[in-house]
């Protein structure tokens, strides 16, 4: 490649490419970006690589686009030392001092403040913890944009952004984000980050019902986990393997991998990880038909979380407890637990909520409440049709059976047709 004759940019062509990309990310037209001394026509020529903008003009454009002048000129991001205040905010956030962390982050939101991306990301993390999913996505996406959509600039923020997308039902967005992040980490030779994003990708694929892709992804991830020598990373891989086998209705394999994850996590002394591992193992025991052991494991998991158990995780534990009680024939207790679960389900993603409604319908049906079971299956069908189509046939079949038993054959056929039509739009390899 010919070397640029200028000293303040790498090449006119590359500057043009970066300028156009930053402008489009900002949602601005060339006319909207223009300012006195820099017309829309001149911006067009810069983007075409036909002009060499002065350093002063580059800095003005960078300021308007909220990127650094050095990145726009050379493609290399300047390494800003974050203010010590931001470290204080991160510590405060980890200690649960949310108001103090938020106060510090809000002090760095001015346009042009080099700490603005970190401040937006911090506020996004606070919103996520508060289960304000839409606000979290908006804040984290702004931070991601300001960092040139580089996942490696703040892997934790990208991790949370993808989770927020999944919770709100945008599973495709989560999958695409984690795919790009894993590819970026691979190209950069960042093996730890590649492992992290690959595990997140595998779990997003499992949640979307894309089991074949998830299995292929996990097979590749195992190699990274072995090389990394990180016990938590290995536990995450086993955890994902357990979830995959559970979704495939293979309880023995699901239980085997859940126990391996639990053995590792108990050595890390991370109570929240261990608590969720107990939840995963309880699910596997339920699939194997051992409701007593499932209840014992769920009790241990709850105890480990203690006061840190949020509404979403509380809903997940309550759902499995209702299933366990039903399996033991304790239908009245199961119905009470199911009613409590319903109060908590707004905190989980729409797709997960739809799947939970199918399970809770079984609980209410066993307790003799057919009307509530039917209502839940109808709601499940609506949610799964929109957010989790690989699971829609299960809801459709159960609702159709209920309608047929009630003498509504026409309604049953209509439900089956709707569920079949929805499922037919899902590739065969992704169906449950």
CATH number of 12-74: 1.10.260.40
Task: For 102-135, write each residue's pLDDT tens digit.
Answer: 999 999 888 878 889 999 999 999 999 887 889 9
Query: pTM score, two decimals?
Result: 0.56
CA distance 251 to 169: 27
199-238: b or e for each residue (b if 16 or more CB lie within 10 Å)? bbbbbbbbbbbbbebbbebbeebbebbeebeeeebbbbbb
Q: From 162, 123, 127, select the one nearest 143 (Cα to Cα).
A: 123
**What is the mean predicted confidence (pLDDT) over 370-397?**
90
Contact predicate 255/285, CB 8 Å: yes
Q: How confident is the model at residue 191 (pLDDT cuts 50, 70, 90)?
A: low
**What is the separation of C-alpha 410 from the centre of its chain, rounded to a whole number of angstroms?**
40
Please count the CA atoms within 13 angstroms of the CA of 248 that sit on its side-chain side. Answer: 19
Task: For 320-334, write each residue's pLDDT tens digit.
Answer: 999 999 999 999 999
- What tokens appear for 200 in the block? 């997140």
Q: What percentage of the chain reaches a pLDDT higher than 90?
A: 35
| 85-145 CATH pick, 1.25.40, 2.130.10, 1.10.1740, 1.10.8 | 1.25.40
CA distance 68 to 82: 15
Task: For 263-289, write each residue's pLDDT tens digit.
Answer: 776 665 556 667 777 887 888 888 888
The residue behind tokens 């927020």 is 164
Contact predicate 127/135, CB 8 Å: yes
Let me know if the fold of 12-74 is the same as that of 85-145.
no
Residue 38: strand pairing partners? 35
Q: How confident is the model at residue 81 (pLDDT cuts 50, 70, 90)?
A: very low
**What is the mean predicted confidence (pLDDT) over 141-161?**
89
Q: From 239, 277, 270, select the one nearest 257 (Cα to Cα).
A: 239
Phi, psi of 35 (to 5 degrees): -150, 165
Task: For 2-26, write each residue's pLDDT tens digit.
Answer: 333 345 677 788 899 999 999 988 8
Overall residue count recorded for the chain in this entry: 432
The residue ranges of every structural domain in the chain are 12-74, 85-145
């Amino acid at each position: 490649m010919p070397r640029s004759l200028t000293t303040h940019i790498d090449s006119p062509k590359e500057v043009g490419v970066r300028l156009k990309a930053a402008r489009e990310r900002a949602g601005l037209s060339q006319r909207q970006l223009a300012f006195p001394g820099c017309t829309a026509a001149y911006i067009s020529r810069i983007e075409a690589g036909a002009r060499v903008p002065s350093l002063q003009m580059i800095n003005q454009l960078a300021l308007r686009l909220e990127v650094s002048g050095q990145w726009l000129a050379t493609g290399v991001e300047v390494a800003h030392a974050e203010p010590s205040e931001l470290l204080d905010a991160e510590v405060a956030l980890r200690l649960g001092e949310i108001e103090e962390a938020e106060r510090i982050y809000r002090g760095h939101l001015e346009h042009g403040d080099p700490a603005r991306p970190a401040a937006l990301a911090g506020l996004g993390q606070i919103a996520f913890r508060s289960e304000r999913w839409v606000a979290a996505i908006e804040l984290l996406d702004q931070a991601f944009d300001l960092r040139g959509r580089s996942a490696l600039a703040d892997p934790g923020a990208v991790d949370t952004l993808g989770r927020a997308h999944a919770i709100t039902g945008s599973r495709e967005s989560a999958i695409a984000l984690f795919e790009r992040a894993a590819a970026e980490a691979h190209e950069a030779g960042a093996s730890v980050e590649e492992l992290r994003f690959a595990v997140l990708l595998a779990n997003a694929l499992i949640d979307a019902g894309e089991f074949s892709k998830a299995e292929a992804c996990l097979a590749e991830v195992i190699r990274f986990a072995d090389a990394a020598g990180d016990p938590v990373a290995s536990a995450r891989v086993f955890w994902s393997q357990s979830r995959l086998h559970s979704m495939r209705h293979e309880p023995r394999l699901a239980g085997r991998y859940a126990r391996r994850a639990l053995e590792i996590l108990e050595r890390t002394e991370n109570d929240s990880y261990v608590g969720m591992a107990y939840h995963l193992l309880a699910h596997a025991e339920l699939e194997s038909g051992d409701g007593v052991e499932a209840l014992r494991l769920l009790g241990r998991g709850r105890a480990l979380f203690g006061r840190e158990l949020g509404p979403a995780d509380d809903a997940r534990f309550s759902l499995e407890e209702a299933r366990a009680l039903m399996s033991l024939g304790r239908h009245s207790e199961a119905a009470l637990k199911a009613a409590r679960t319903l109060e908590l389900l707004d905190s989980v993603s729409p797709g997960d909520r739809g799947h939970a409604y199918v399970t809770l319908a079984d609980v209410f049906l066993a307790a003799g409440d057919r009307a509530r079971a039917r209502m839940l299956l109808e709601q499940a069908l609506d949610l799964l049709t929109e957010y989790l189509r690989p699971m829609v046939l299960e809801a459709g079949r159960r609702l159709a059976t209920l309608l047929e038993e009630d003498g509504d054959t026409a309604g049953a056929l209509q439900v089956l047709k709707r569920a079949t039509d929805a499922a037919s739009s899902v590739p065969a390899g992704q169906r449950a």
